[in-house]
Amino acid sequence: MCDLARGGHTVPRIGGGRIGRVGHGGAWLHLTRDIGHIFRAALGPAARQPLGLAVSGGGDSVALLHLAVEAGCKVAVATVDHGLREEAAAEAAAVAARCEALGVPHRVLEWRWNGRGNLSDAARRARMTLLADWARGAGLAAVALGHTQDDVAETFLMRLARDAGVDGLAAMAARREVAGMVFLRPLMGVGRAELRGWLLSRGLDWVDDPTNEDAHFARVRARRAIAAMADAGVGADQIAALAGRMTDVREALDGSVAEAAARIARLDRGDVILEGAGLAQLPVEIRRRLMRDVVMWIGSAEYGPRGAELERFIAAALEGRAATLGGCRMTPGRGRLRITREMRAVAGLECATDQVWDGRWRVTGPEIDGDNSGLTIRALGIEGLAQIAGAEAATMPRLSLLASPAVWRGDMLVAAPLAGQGAGWSAACAAPFGPLSAAPLSH
C-alpha cells in the first residue's frame, strides 16, 4: 500500500491524508511496556463481548483496531465521515480496505453539518449519536474509542484555559453512556507516541489528519503547549495524572453531594423538594453541585447552567424567593423549596405515547377502541387543567401539574396521570443519575 514509517522517517499519505512522523525517542522509549496487556486490562469484561470500534485511520484508532484484533476480540468497525475535508471519503475507504484484510466488518457513517450552531460541538454530538445507533443495530455491547493519555492532557489544558472547575479539569471518563450505548476509552493509559511506536514495531501505517497541525484549533494549541513544557520537565503523562487526581476530587465531592441529597432532598413525582435550612448549612461547593444536579435532572439538560446564573438561583433559594433557571421553577413554602419543571419550557413539546416525553417521562395506559395512534403526550397546561373536574383536590401543586405529562387526542384531554385523571393511565419519571439518585422518594 505504501512505505512504512520507521524511526524518524515519514509515512507517505494514504487516501489523501497528511503524512505521519514519529521520532526515535517518543516512539520507541516505552516499547518495553506490554501495550496489549494494558489494552486488555482496560477493556475488562468488554473484551469478551461484541465490541464496536471507532476508527478514523489515524494512528490512535488504527492501533485500537490492531490491538483489538490481536486480543481476539469480536469486533466491528465504523468510520464517521463528517464531510468536512475532501480527503475524508478516501481515508474511510482506506480503513475499509484495512478491515477487509483483517476480516473485520466495516461501515461508513456519514453526517453533514446544517450550518447551525457550533460546528465542533455539532460534529462531536453527531459522531456519538451515529456510533450509538450503529452499535445498537449491529448488536454490539459497547463502542471503544481511541483517546490516549495525550488527549487527556490536552483536554485538561483546554478546559483550564476556559477557567473550568473541578468537573471540567477531571480526566475524561474511561466509561460513559451516550444515547443508550456504552462507550469505552481503553487507551487512556498509553501515550500517542507510544502507540505509534507499537504500530511501527509491527510495520503498520496510519494517516494523520492535516487539521492536527492547524493552530486555529484549541486542541492543536494545547498540544503545542505540552510539547513546549517538555523542556521544563512536564510531560503529557504528568498532566494526565493531575487530571486523574481531579477525578478523585470530583468523586469525593460527589460522595458528599449524595450524602446531602439523602439528608435534605426528596423526590416527588418528577419534582425535587429541598429543606431550606439544610440547604443553607451545606458547604458552598456541595450546595452548588446539589442544586446544579437538581436543575439538570428536572430540565433534562446535558450541561449544567452557567456559574453566575446558578449562583443567582442559589441566592434566591437561601433568601426564600421564587426563581427560574434552566427550564425549572423554584417555589418556597413552609421552610422548603419545591423545584419543578417550568411550564414555558415544555409548551409545544409533543410526542407519541410510545416515546419518552421531555427526556424523563414515559406514559402507559390502555388502548382506546384498540387504537392509540391518534394519541399524543404534551403538557397538561391551563387548557388541560380546565378539563379536569375537581382539579383543586389534586395532591400535586398547580405549578407542577401544569408542566406534567398528559395524554391528548387533539384538543381533548384523555388522561392526566399526575392529577389522578384517566383510569388505567400512569406516568413514570426516569430516576436521576449520579449523587441526586441518593435522594429518597417523598411519601
Q: Which residues are annotated as a binding site for ATP?
A: 56-61
Cross-strand bridge partners of residue 268: 271
With beta carbons less than 8 A apart as the criterion, state whether 33 and 57 touch. Answer: no
What does the angle CA 381 – CA 385 – CA 391 come to, to the nearest 5 degrees?
145
Question: What burial letters (b/e) apply to 317-354, b meaning 16+ CB within 10 Å?
Answer: beeeeebebbbbbbbbeeebbbbbbbbebbeeeeeebe
Which phi and psi angles does 339 have, rounded to 5°? -110, 120
Contact 11, 4 (CB under 8 A): yes
Residue among 187, 218, 231, 219 at smallest CA distance from 59: 187
Which amino acid would we find at residue 327? G
The sign of the torsion formed by the CA atoms of 116, 118, 123, 129 equals negative
Closest CA to 5 of 227, 211, 190, 195: 195
Give 432: exposed, middle or buried? Use CB within 10 Å, 0-12, 13-18, 19+: buried
Cβ-based neighbours of 178, under 8 Å, separated by 6 or more: 128, 129, 132
* Radius of gyration of the chain, Cα coordinates, nearest whole angstrom: 26
- Provide the annotated binding site: 56-61
Give the angle subtended at the CA of 82 by the CAs of 77 and 83, to the nearest 5°.
125
Distance CA 150, CA 173 (A): 14
From residue 165, give the alpha-carbon distance in Å to each of 211, 236, 238, 266.
28, 20, 19, 27
How far apart are the C-alpha atoms of 36 and 26, rounded to whole Å?
18
Angle at 437 between CA 432 and CA 438, to 5 degrees: 165
